[in-house]
Amino acid sequence: MALIRRQFLSRAALATSALGAPVFANAQSARFNWKMTSAYGKGSPFYMDGPGSATDLAKRIREMSDGRLNIQVFGAGELIPAFEGFDAVRAGTVEMNHANSYFWTGKTFAAQYFTAVPFGLNFQGMNGWLYDGGGQELWNEVYAPFGMVAMPCGNTGVQMTGWFKKEIKSVADFKGLKMRIPGLAGKVYANLGVDVKVLPGGEIFPALERGVIDAAEFVGPFQDRRLGLQKAAKFYYTTGWHESSTVSELLINKAAWDKLPKDLQAIVSNAAAACNVISEGWCQKANSEAMEDLVKNQGVTARPLPDDVIKALRAETEKVLAEAVKDPLTKKVHDSYFAFKAKYDRWSEISEEAYHLKVRG
Ligand code: CA
C-alpha cells in the first residue's frame, strides 16, 4: 500500500509541476467558474433575490459542490441587456441565463409552452408535464438546434391579469389600449385591438405613470406592488387566464453542460428543482399578504374580468394556437402539452379543484 501511495503522490506532484494544475486534478476536483445572466434587475425579489431566486440557486450549487461550481450572477443590464440571455448563452458568452422561455418566441415559437400557455396548466399540472409527462425532453429538443438545454427553476403560480387605468366592462374596451404584456397572451390581446408592448420589469412603472401605456401586467400582488403599479392604475384584474403558472427557465449552454462531471450536473438539476418548489411557496406567502395590503390600505379595486371578456379571450386564444401549430415543432409540443392537460384536468377536477370548491369551505 505504502509503495502504491508513494507512486501516486509522486505522479500527482509531477502533474502539478508540469501543468501548474492543482494536485489530484481530475474530473471530481476540477473547478468551474460560470456566469449567469438574468432578464430581471439586480435585487428583484423572486427572480434575483430571496428563496428560490437566481442568487439562491447559485448559492445552493456552490454549497452542494463545495465551491467546485461557482456561478457569478448578473442582473439585467449588468453584463447584457434584459432580453439578450438567449443569444449570450447560445454564443457561450455566459454559461447560463435565468429568465422565462416565452421571451424567446421570436427565436423558436415552441419556447412559449415551457413558460405558460393561456388557459393552460397550473403549477402542479405544469410540474407533472415537465418532469414526468415529456415536457422536459421536448424543451431540450426545441433548444437542440441552438446548442442549449434548459430546465425549470422557479414558478410564480397564478399571475394577475394586471393593471388598467380604466374599467374593462367588455372586450371592446381593449381596443386601442397600449398594454405591456409578453408572450402568447400578447398575441391574443393584439388580435382584440390592443397595442402590445414588451417592456422589462423595471420600465413598466414609468411607462404606465406617464401614459406611454394604459395597462400592464407583470406578475402578481407582491411584485406589482414593489414596482408601484398601484400608484399608476387603480383597476387590478385578477383573472390569471394568460399565465396560470409561469415557469422560470434555467437556460444552459450545452457544450458547457457536457463538460460538467455527472455529479455537478446532478447538483445543478437538483438545486433547480428545489428552487422551482421553494420559489413558488414563497410567492404564495408574499402574494397573500400583498393582496390584502393593496385592497385594504392602498385603495386598489381587485376583481376578476367579466365572464364575457374571459369567453372572448378564450376564443381568441384558440385561434392563436390554431395558427401557431402550423409550425411542426410547435405542434409536437402543443400536442404533448394538451394531451397531458386533458388527463390532468379530469383528475384535478375530482381532486384539487373538488377540494377547493366543495371541501375546504
Ligand atoms: Ca407576467
For 118-167, the pLDDT digits (tens) are 999 999 999 999 999 999 999 999 999 999 999 999 999 999 999 999 99
pLDDT digits (tens, 9 = 90+) for 44-62: 999 999 999 999 999 999 9
* Res 182: pLDDT: 86
Report CA(50)–ligand 1 centroid distance (Å): 19
CA 318 to ligand 1 centroid distance, Å? 20
Query: Given a cut of 60, is residue 19 above it in pLDDT?
Result: no
pLDDT over threshold 70, residue 13: no
In the predicted model, is pLDDT for residue 273 greater than 80?
Answer: yes
With bands split at pLDDT 50, 70 and 90, how would you rate the model's confidence at 26?
A: low
Residue 219 Cα to ligand 1 middle (Å): 4
Label residue 200 by pLDDT band (50, 70, 90).
confident
Task: Give the distance (Å) from ligand 1 centre to CA of residue 242.
Answer: 8
pLDDT of 20: 44
Phi/psi region, residue 215 (left: phi>0; alpha: psi -120 to 50; beta: rest), is beta
Percent pLDDT > 90 in the chain is 88
CA of 217 to the centre of ligand 1 (A): 6
CA of 39 from ligand 1 middle (Å) equals 13
337 Cα: distance to centroid of ligand 1 (angstroms):
20
Ion ligand 1 residue ranges (Cβ < 5 Å)? 159
pLDDT of res. 195: 97
* CA–CA gap between residue 166 and residue 173 (Å, rounded): 9
Q: What is the pLDDT of residue 17?
A: 40
What's the CA gap between 208 and 206, in Å, rounded?
Answer: 6
Q: How far is the CA of 243 from the centre of ligand 1 (A)?
A: 7
What is the Å distance from ligand 1's center to 342 Cα? 24
Residue 33 has pLDDT above 70, yes or no: yes
How remote is the CA of residue 218 from the centroid of ligand 1, in Å? 4
What region does 183 belong to: left with phi over 0, alpha with psi -120 to 50, or beta? left
Q: What's the gap in Å between 314 CA and the centre of ligand 1?
A: 18
Q: What is the pTM of this model?
A: 0.89
Q: How far is the CA of 346 from the centre of ligand 1 (A)?
A: 27
Q: Which value, in Å, is the radius of gyration of the alpha carbons in the chain?
A: 23
**Does position 87 have pLDDT exceeding 80, yes or no?**
yes
**Over the chain, what is the mean pLDDT?**
93
**Rounded Cα–Cα distance for residues 10 and 315 (Å):** 73
Instruction: For residue 183, name the pLDDT band (cuts at 50, 70, 90).
Output: confident
Closest CA to 78 of 107, 112, 43, 102: 43
Residue 226 CA, ligand 1 centroid: distance in Å: 14
